[in-house]
A and B are shown apart, each in its own frame.
Chain A
Amino acid sequence: MLKRVTAPKEVASVGIPIGKASFPSPFVSGLEYASPARGTWNIVHTGMLIPEAHEIFVCAASCLRGVVLTAAEMGAAHRFSTVEVRERNLLDGDMEELVIEGVADIIERLPKRPPVVLVYTSCVHHFAGCDLDMIYEELRCRFPDIDFADCYMNPIMRKSGMTPDQLMRSRLYMPLKQRPIRKGAVALIGSDLPNEKDNDLVRLLTENGFKIHEITACRNYEEYQEMAESEFYISTYPAAVPGGDMLSQRLGGTHVYVPFSFDCDEIERGLSRLAEVLNIPAPDFTGKREDVQQALKETLALVGNAPIAIDYTYSPRPLGLAKLLLDAGFNVQKVYLDVVTGEEKQAFEYLKSNHPALMLYPTVHASMRFLAEKEPTDVLAIGQKAAHFNNTNHFVNVVEGGGMLGYQAIFRTLALMQEAYREEKDMRDLIQIKGMGCGGCCG
C-alpha cells in the first residue's frame, strides 16, 4: 500500500446546500480533477457498437494514448488503428494528406476489408481548418466498397454547439443507407447499453407487435443496415436527441424522444405520447403509482435512515431520483453533479424549495481530489462516483441508466438499492473498469 505524502493539511468542503445553489451551474469552473470511476462509455466504446466497423483515430500521441488503450482493454485492438499527427504536420500544412494516406495505408494492411470505417479527426484538424469534405470525398473515391463515417475527438468543442457525446451518438447512425420503410419497424437509438427486455418501452412495443431494431443487438453490418427500414426512431437518452432528429430528416422515419425519468407524471406523459405517435392504444398505468409507493415503502423499511448519495453517472436524472426518494422519506444527503441539465430544472427548483438542506457536490472541482472519504463508510451510493467519494462498498453499480425505462426504472432502482444495502461489492476494482457493459460490443 502506498502512502499519502503530498496532501494539503486541510481542504475546505466545496459542497453547497441545494437551497443556496444556482441553476444551471452550482459550482465555479476551474482546474478539473478526474476521479477513478471509469464506468461511463467513451467514443471508442460507442463506435464499436457498429458491427464489423473499424475505427481509425488521427491525432497526436497524447490523444491517441487513451483511446488505443481503451480499445486494447476491451479486446478490440484488431478493430482499431491510429495515424499519429506530428509537429511537422502542423507546420507543413499537410494534414489532409496525412489523413488520406494514413487511412489508406491502414485499410490496405488490414487482413480483411471492413464494410465501414469510422475516421476520428481531432481538435488539431478543427484548428488547422482541415478540409474534411475533401478528405472523405477522396477516401470514398479510393475505397468505394467501404462506408466512411466522419467522427470526432474534439473535446475543445464541448462548450460550442453539439457536445462530443451528442456528436458521437449522432455519427453512430450516419452509415445507415436509405431503404424502403417497413411498417411496424422501430429502432431504439442513442443508448450505449441495450434496453432491458422488461422496461416499459420494450414491453409497450412488443405487446403491440412492433419489430424492434437496436444497435446493441445487431450481429453484423447487414443487420445494422436494417435499422434504416424503421418507421420510428425512439431515443431515451438526452444526448441522443440531436442524432435522432438528424436520422429522421435523413432517412424519413419519425423521431420520438421518450425521456428517462423517475417522475410518474413524466413517465406516463412520455409513453402516452409515444403511443399516440405510434397510433396504438395508450398504455394502462392502473395501479402503477400504488405499486411505486409500495416498493418505496418496502425499500425504506429495509434501508431505514441509511445515508444515501447519488451521482449523475447512474442516470440522466440524479435530481429526479433524489426527489423521488426524499419525498418518500429516504435519507438522501448528497448528489454529485457538475451542472444541472435543462431537463432537471423542475426537479432542481422543487428540491430547492422542499429539501433545501440536500447537499450538492461537484465531481471535477480541484478540491475533490482530497474530499473523498479516507475511511470506509456505510453510505448507500447510487452510482460509481458517489461510491468513490463516499468510500463505500454498498453501491448500485450502473451507468447511463442501465437500459431501464419508465416505471420499470423506478422498480429496478429500488431493487438494486436493496441489493446494494444487503451486499457489498468490490468498489475499488469495479469502478475502475472502463465502459461498463461494453464487453459484448467488440466481436
Chain B
Amino acid sequence: MKQTSRIISTYSADVFGVCSALFELGGIIIMHDASGCNSTYTTHDEPRWYDMESMVYISGLSEMEAIMGDDEKLIGDIVAAAEDLHPRFIAVAGTPIPTMTGFDFEAVAALIEERTGIPAFGFNTTGMKTYVHGASMALEAVARRFADRNVQKTSDLTANILGLTPLDFSVTGTEHSVTDFLEESGFRVLSRWAMGSSLEDLSQAGGAHVNLVVSSTGLSAAKALQERFGTPYVVGLPIGKIQKEHLREALHTAASTGENQYPVSDLPGEDILVIGEAVTSLALASALEYSAGQGVRVLCPTEGSEGLLRSRDLRAQYEEEIEEAMREAKTVIADPLYRPICPDHVKFVELPTEAFSGRIYRERIPNLVTGFDAFAKEVL
C-alpha cells in the first residue's frame, strides 16, 4: 500500500477530534506534541476558536524530553496551568512521537489527577487515525466519567443528541435544528454532545429515554450510556421529510421498547455516490433515495462505519481507490477538495465539510437538516 494522495486533502486527525469534542466543556486539553498541531487545529479545524474561549494547548515536546522520557516536564506544566486556569477537567491526547516512545497516557493522567484533584483523562491518540476515532474516545470518556449515575429517568420524554462537532456540522446551527426536530417530535432535549451544552447538562444525560446519534463520533458514547443507564439509541440525522418521519418513528419505538434503531433506506442503484463520514452520509443517502426513488451509494473514508454501511456501500481511504469508485458513478457528492480526482464525465456536487477542507469553504457548508430540499435540487 502506497498510502499516497497526489492532490486531495486528508481528514482531520484523531487528536483534533478529541479537542473538538471537548472544546466547550471547560477543561484543559493538551496535545502532547512538539509544535504545529495546535495551530493546525485552531486554524483549520476549529471555527469556534476566535469567539468562544477554551483551553486547548500544546505541550511543546522537545527531542531531549522525548528521548529521556522526561514526563515530569509535561506533568509539571499541566499542574502549573491548572493552578492558574482552574479547569473542570484535564485531557492529554497523543500524537506520533509519544506513540513511538510508548508514552503511558493513562498513568500520566492518573498522576495529574492525584496532584491536582481535577479529573484527568489520557487519550492514546496517535495522530494517524481520523477525527472520528478521537472524538469517539473523548465523548465516550465523558459518558463514563461525568454522566451522573444517580440521575433518574425524566417523567417526560427526553433525549440527548450525541456526536455533534463542527468537524461534521461546522457552525451552521445544526445543533439547534436537530433540537427543534426532537422537540417537534415530542422529546425534550437534555444535552447536546458537545455543542451548545455545558458539562452539567451532559452529566444529566442518564435521565433521557433515548439518545440520537447524529454522527459516528457519538456511537461509542451511546453504547456507554446504554451500558450505564440502559438508554437505547437511534442512529440517524433528520434530513428530508420522509427520513424525518422514519427517524421520529424510530425514536418513539426505541423509547418505548428499549431497542436500538437504525432507520436507513436501502433501494437498489449506484448512480449517485456520497463520500463522507458514515452516519451523515447514510442519512443524506437515505433522504435522497426517498426523494429520487433510486439507490444512493456511500463511500466512507473515516472510521466508525462498522455495522452501519449497507452491502453496496464502500470503505476506502486512499486517493486511487476513491478515484476508482467515482468512475463508476454518474453523480458524486463530496467535499470540493475531492473535485480534482472526479472524472470529467461525472457530475460533481459540492458538500463541504470542516473535517476535510477545514475553513476554506466554511461559508458554503449547508445545514442539511433545514436545507435538504435546496440541496437535493442540485443533485437530482
- Give Cα distance in the complex from A85 to B128, angstroms: 7
Identify 19 new A-B residue pairs, CB closer than 8 A, beyond the known A69-B44, A83-B4, A84-B4: A4-B53, A6-B54, A9-B86, A30-B60, A31-B28, A31-B30, A34-B39, A62-B13, A62-B33, A65-B11, A66-B37, A81-B4, A81-B7, A86-B3, A90-B96, A90-B99, A109-B6, A123-B96, A124-B97
Cβ of B100 under 8 Å from chain A: yes
> B residues engaging A (CB < 8 A)?
2-7, 9-16, 24-26, 28, 30, 33-40, 42-45, 48-55, 57-64, 66, 77-78, 80-81, 84-88, 95-97, 99-101, 126-130, 171, 198, 318, 337, 340, 357-358, 360
- Give Cα distance in the complex from A65 to B16, angstroms: 10
- Give Cα distance in the complex from A170 to B39, angstroms: 24
Cβ contact of A78, chosen from B3, B7, B33, B80, cutoff 8 A = B7
Find out whether the CB atom of A34 lies under 8 angstroms from the CB atom of B10. no
- Please, which residue of chain A has its CB at the minimum distance from the CB of B14? A62
Find out whether the CB atom of B97 lies under 8 angstroms from the CB atom of A123. yes
- Give Cα distance in the complex from A341 to B43, angstroms: 27
- Give Cα distance in the complex from A346 to B219, angstroms: 59
- Give Cα distance in the complex from A200 to B42, angstroms: 39
Most buried by A among B44, B53, B358: B53
Asked, given contacts A5-B198, A83-B4, whether A159 binds B62 with beta carbons under 8 Å apart, the answer is: yes
Find out whether the CB atom of A77 lies under 8 angstroms from the CB atom of B360. no
Find out whether the CB atom of A31 lies under 8 angstroms from the CB atom of B62. no
Number of interface residues of A (CB under 8 A): 70
Collect the chain A residues with CB atoms within 8 Å of residue B87's CB. 8
Most buried by A among B6, B63, B130: B6
Find out whether the CB atom of B37 lies under 8 angstroms from the CB atom of A31. no
| Closest chain B CB from A16 CB (angstroms) | 15
Q: Which of A97-105, A249-257, A273-281 contacts B (4 or more CB under 8 A)?
A: A97-105
- Please, which residue of chain A has its CB at the minimum distance from the CB of B38? A34
Asked, given contacts A6-B53, A65-B40, whether A127 binds B2 with beta carbons under 8 Å apart, the answer is: no
Cβ of A230 under 8 Å from chain B: no
Find out whether the CB atom of A61 lies under 8 angstroms from the CB atom of B43. no
Collect the chain B residues with CB atoms within 8 Å of residue A60's CB. 13, 95-96, 126-128
Q: Which of A135-143, A315-323, A365-373 contacts B (4 or more CB under 8 A)?
A: A365-373
| Closest chain A CB from B375 CB (angstroms) | 23
Asked, given contacts A34-B39, A84-B3, whether A68 binds B10 with beta carbons under 8 Å apart, the answer is: yes
Find out whether the CB atom of B60 lies under 8 angstroms from the CB atom of A84. no
| Closest chain A CB from B77 CB (angstroms) | 4
- Give Cα distance in the complex from A94 to B100, angstroms: 14
- Give Cα distance in the complex from A381 to B51, angstroms: 21
Find out whether the CB atom of B49 lies under 8 angstroms from the CB atom of A66. no
Collect the chain B residues with CB atoms within 8 Å of residue A3's CB. 51-52
Find out whether the CB atom of A30 lies under 8 angstroms from the CB atom of B77. yes
| Closest chain A CB from B235 CB (angstroms) | 25
| Closest chain A CB from B95 CB (angstroms) | 6
- Give Cα distance in the complex from A28 to B77, angstroms: 10
| Closest chain A CB from B321 CB (angstroms) | 13
Cβ of A282 under 8 Å from chain B: no
Find out whether the CB atom of A8 lies under 8 angstroms from the CB atom of B86. yes
Find out whether the CB atom of B57 lies under 8 angstroms from the CB atom of A65. no
- Within 10-31 of A, Cβ neighbours of B (below 8 Å) are at 11-12, 28-31
- Within 193-230 of A, Cβ neighbours of B (below 8 Å) are at none
- Give Cα distance in the complex from A85 to B3, angstroms: 8
- Give Cα distance in the complex from A6 to B29, angstroms: 12
Find out whether the CB atom of A84 lies under 8 angstroms from the CB atom of B5. yes
Cβ contact of B58, chosen from A7, A11, A31, cutoff 8 A = A31
Collect the chain B residues with CB atoms within 8 Å of residue A428's CB. 50
- Give Cα distance in the complex from A110 to B54, angstroms: 42
| Closest chain A CB from B372 CB (angstroms) | 25
> A residues engaging B (CB < 8 A)?
1-9, 11-12, 28-34, 36, 38, 59-66, 68-69, 72-73, 77-78, 80-87, 90, 98, 101-102, 105-106, 109-110, 122-124, 127-128, 153-160, 366-367, 369-370, 428, 432, 434
Collect the chain B residues with CB atoms within 8 Å of residue A83's CB. 2-4
| Closest chain B CB from A90 CB (angstroms) | 6
| Closest chain B CB from A99 CB (angstroms) | 11
Collect the chain B residues with CB atoms within 8 Å of residue A110's CB. 6
Collect the chain B residues with CB atoms within 8 Å of residue A81's CB. 4-7
Find out whether the CB atom of A32 lies under 8 angstroms from the CB atom of B60. yes
Asked, given contacts A62-B37, A68-B9, whether A124 binds B2 with beta carbons under 8 Å apart, the answer is: no
- Please, which residue of chain B has its CB at the minimum distance from the CB of A30? B77
Cβ contact of B7, chosen from A1, A77, A85, cutoff 8 A = A77
| Closest chain A CB from B217 CB (angstroms) | 16
Collect the chain A residues with CB atoms within 8 Å of residue B61's CB. 156
Collect the chain A residues with CB atoms within 8 Å of residue B36's CB. 63, 66, 153, 155
Closest 6 CB pairs of A and B: A62-B127, A66-B40, A62-B13, A155-B35, A156-B34, A31-B57
Find out whether the CB atom of A63 lies under 8 angstroms from the CB atom of B127. yes
Most buried by B among A1, A77, A82: A82
Collect the chain A residues with CB atoms within 8 Å of residue B39's CB. 34, 38, 66
**Residue contacts A-B, CB under 8 angstroms, 16 given:** A5-B24, A32-B57, A34-B39, A65-B11, A65-B13, A65-B44, A66-B43, A66-B44, A69-B40, A72-B337, A84-B3, A85-B96, A128-B100, A155-B36, A156-B34, A369-B55
Find out whether the CB atom of A31 lies under 8 angstroms from the CB atom of B53. no
Find out whether the CB atom of A369 lies under 8 angstroms from the CB atom of B53. yes
Collect the chain B residues with CB atoms within 8 Å of residue A69's CB. 9, 40, 43-44, 357-358, 360
| Closest chain B CB from A57 CB (angstroms) | 10
Find out whether the CB atom of A366 lies under 8 angstroms from the CB atom of B4. no
Asked, given contacts A34-B39, A156-B63, whether A61 binds B3 with beta carbons under 8 Å apart, the answer is: no
Find out whether the CB atom of A367 lies under 8 angstroms from the CB atom of B85. yes
| Closest chain A CB from B272 CB (angstroms) | 25
Collect the chain A residues with CB atoms within 8 Å of residue B28's CB. 31
- Give Cα distance in the complex from A159 to B13, angstroms: 26
Collect the chain A residues with CB atoms within 8 Å of residue B78's CB. 31
- Give Cα distance in the complex from A3 to B24, angstroms: 10
- Please, which residue of chain B has its CB at the minimum distance from the CB of A374? B53
| Closest chain A CB from B137 CB (angstroms) | 14
